Chain A
Amino acid sequence: MAKAHVTTTVNGDEYEFLCEPQQSLVNVLRDELRLSGTKEGCSTGDCGACSVMMDDRLVCSCLVLAVETEGKHIETIEGMGTAENLHPLQRRFLEINGLQCGICTPGILVAAKALLKKNPNPTETEIRFWLAGNLCRCTGYDKIIRSVQAAAEDLRKDKSNGNHS
């Protein structure tokens, strides 16, 4: 079967890859680009472990065909922060123990970041409904919600201090 040639930007870097027309974005991110931080939990858009941003829109990368990403900008967990410069969400998840096994964590962090960009001061209910597409089996969600609440507060403080990064 002829493969398609695709050029896309992932975390600010330009990538070219060949893929079969039916290959999903998560499949290409992991198996072709070896960006394995994005996890595949169900392949049907139900668990959210593969959440990434595509042109500023939160998507399940298992439901996006890799060929659809031509010319698009993809952001994955690998682009979210570094050990020296963690995103407030990453820092709060660590401090509050918002992760146990960690398999859902990349998807939840990406989804939560998208929420806070849209809604910097979400209520507990708004956080719970936004994250309803991200399954976690370890935590019972309690410390995930608390981590997002704490990070939202951090980001609001950052912003009022004039740090817009």
Chain B
Amino acid sequence: MATILEESGFNPDADLKVVGTNPVKHDGLDKVLGRAKFGADVYLPGMLYGKIVRSPHAHAKIKSIDISEAKKLPGVKAVITGADFPEIPQGSGWGDMSRTTIAREKVLFDGHPVAAIAAISEQVAKRACKLIKVEYDVLPHVIEVEDAIAKDAPILHDYMRTKGDEDAPDVPTNICEKMVSKIGDIDSGFASADFIVENDFDSKPMHQGYIEPQGCIADYSQDGLVELWTCTQAPFVYRDRLSAILKIDAAKINVQQSELGGGFGGKTGFYAEPLAIVLSKKASAPVKMTLTRTEVFRGTGPVSGTKSRIKMGCKRNGKIVAAEAELYFQTGPYTGSMYFNAPNAMFTRYDLPNIYIEAYEVVSNRPKVNSFRAPCVPQIVFGVEGLIDDMAKKVGMDPIDFRLKNAATEGHTTIYGDTWGPVGFVETLEAAKTTEHYRTPIKSGEGRGISCGFWFNRGGETASTMTLAPDGTVTISTGTADVAGSRISIAMMAAEELGIDVDKVRVKMSDTNSLGFNRVTAGSRTTFSVGMVVVDNARKCIGELCRRAANEWGVAEEEVKFENGEVKPASSNVGDFAPMSIGDITSKTTMTDGAIVSSSSMNVTGAGPGFGVHIVDVKVDEGTGRVDVLRWTVIQDAGKAIHPLQVEGQLQGAAIQGMGWALNEEYIYTQEGQLDNPGFLDYRMPVASDVPMVDCKIVEVPNPLHPFGLRGVGEVPVVPTMAAVGNAITAAIGIRPTSLPMSPPKLLDLIEKRDTLYP
């Protein structure tokens, strides 16, 4: 029998009853009542409070750590340093991860953990932190990419040589990796261009900005089993990484995910969890650790800041013939930024004959970067979509028509080698043209920007079980996280397949002991991938229901069918049997073959690429440089929106996150390399009074490889955001900003430059 990966069973004419509706999400009630349990909301008997001692220096050798005074303080139950962790060599993946968790030889960023304490109260733990004496030998530090790649730059790791660069000399460097991507012949491409546009761009790190600081509780039992409750996007990945850096068998670590108070990629890697486990082992008691907001900013991963040079050329008729880029990404003190997404995605959505991209990943004395929606792509697309607009202007075309002229379609082979099935980029652009927003003329003094984005969408290892209870209700266990409401969408797909009310289905986020490995919940993979295994499970359960009904009726299995939640004779010739509901069959398991249970584990393939178009109107106050965002419309292909309100929520939230990144959010460092704005007052995220309503238009070009045609939706909508704002500002003030964030001081400088250039 063909698997669901080979035959999805997608039916464009299906009469869907549940999919496409907007039921209240099952986890919502506890959340509005204040009952939902997030990372910091668990309390265990005998629990201690853990706190972290962090480096005040950006780069320093640790000469000594004296914990004796801290240990003497009454109420302190355990003190740990890097020496309490298994030794893993520097420069290896696990060695880097272990050292990011707690410093060994050197501290590499302001906020780098150097020790941790468990005590009977938070207050005692805080006091004990102040009693730990660390002697540092402060080293020269480097924060910005251009300084880190300069010839005489302070070197973070003497062992580092550039991976992927055969021509690099055998001397220490801060460039960890180089990646070259190409299509066609770039020189002849530019030679054939009528217009060439080129610019330098840069962006600052922004933080994911989840409102829930990381919180966990670890309990190391004396027989060597670890129970870890934490807010995570990746319970299985946490388990396996903890196993590797703490050298504990994976089977002895059970990670139970809590409700997740926002992640956006930032909770795909752990911070306090290994410390809590080692403290719990040493203190022989459960240890709870909750980061402060300052710690979240200083110690957890922001996104990569970047520098880039991008050049594109087109013909007089608007056809783009060449695109070239040189990209630099901050990764923090160690490799692992996912910078490779940028060359793979930056131009992907356009059908370009000649591309050449060099991308570099660079270490510096910053916190290790972490994922954020479409990691490393939006800040580069800021430049690309700006140049696209510049070209459209040069050839005198409408910006959407220009993009339509170059849009990639079904059958397109990408720079990363995939050939696309049905995709909806053209449909999304066409839909943008018909929005009321686009058809409404812009007012004088305001500017309108258009921008587009692409994301691969992902599949990957996914495991889930489905259990039918005797009363016919259904429990689904998933090992992915629910980052913003995937449980209801998963329940809806199961209800649709089983022909039952969605209220009869409940989805539970499993611990790692109870299911097979699930890849991280990221990359817009979860609703898609879990949907595949859940529908697979539903089909297996339906097969078993049919078998049991056929047995009971004494007919062949082929003579029964499952329809609208019931097993019935396949035709009137089979016999006069009353249809049986799921509950009719599952209530008789005592007399039949036991409970009906299905498990499905697969490496899901078939994710369909996603595309979005954003339209943004702004007004710029030329006296202060302040930008008011007046109107924002997001148009996106969802393949099939399982729960349209949830899809809209993804688009709206991404738009406003991107607006913050575009206009305000950045990491600011002191001369000494210390983070100067580690709080919400100085790190300014958009608040309700900063933003307009965000209109959404969901386009549905189905992905036939999924039973209901869905495509992931979470990453795409952040990709075009900064470019859309940038293009709108360019239209408003008549000169292009090339540096993110486009904050008031930068815009004032730019307006002054414009007035000098074009008096």
Contacts and interface: CB of A to CB of B under 8 A. Distances in A.
Interface of A: 1, 20, 22-23, 27, 30-31, 34-44, 46-47, 49, 76-78, 80-83, 86, 90, 93-97, 99-106, 109, 124-125, 127-129, 131-145
Interface centre among A20, A23, A83, A105 (most CB of B within 10 A): A105
Contact of A36 (B29, B37, B260): B37
Contacts of A77: 33-34
**Chain A interface SS verdict (over half):** loop
B28 A101 contact: no
Contacts of A101: 210-212, 259-263, 483-484
B673 interface: no
B22 interface: yes
Q: Which of B263, B645, B689 has the most chain A CB atoms closer than 10 A to its own CB? A: B689
A1 B694 CA distance: 52
B649 interface: yes
Contacts of B213: 40-41
B122 interface: yes
A104 B652 contact: no
A102 B688 contact: no
Contacts of B262: 101, 103, 137-138
A23 B121 CA distance: 11
Contact of A137 (B25, B33, B685): B685
B209 A100 contact: no
Contact of B29 (A43, A83, A142): A83
Contacts of A41: 211-213, 293
Given A83-B33, A97-B645, A100-B649, A44 B688 contact: no
Q: Which of A1, A46, A109, A124 has the most CB of B within 10 A?
A: A46
A105 B32 contact: yes
Contacts of A90: 32-33
Contact of A132 (B27, B293, B655, B688): B688
B143 to A, nearest CB: 25
B89 interface: no
A143 B645 contact: yes
A100 B484 contact: yes
Nearest to B259: A102
B211 A144 contact: no
Contacts of A128: 688-689, 691
A134 B32 contact: no
B689 to A, nearest CB: 4
Nearest to A93: B32
Contacts of A139: 649, 652-653
B260 A145 contact: no
B75 to A, nearest CB: 11
B32 A109 contact: yes
Contacts of B37: 36
A97 B22 contact: yes
A143 B652 contact: yes
Contacts of A134: 687-688
B144 interface: no
Contacts of B689: 125, 128-129, 131-132
A109 to B, nearest CB: 6
A86 to B, nearest CB: 7
Contacts of A93: 28, 32
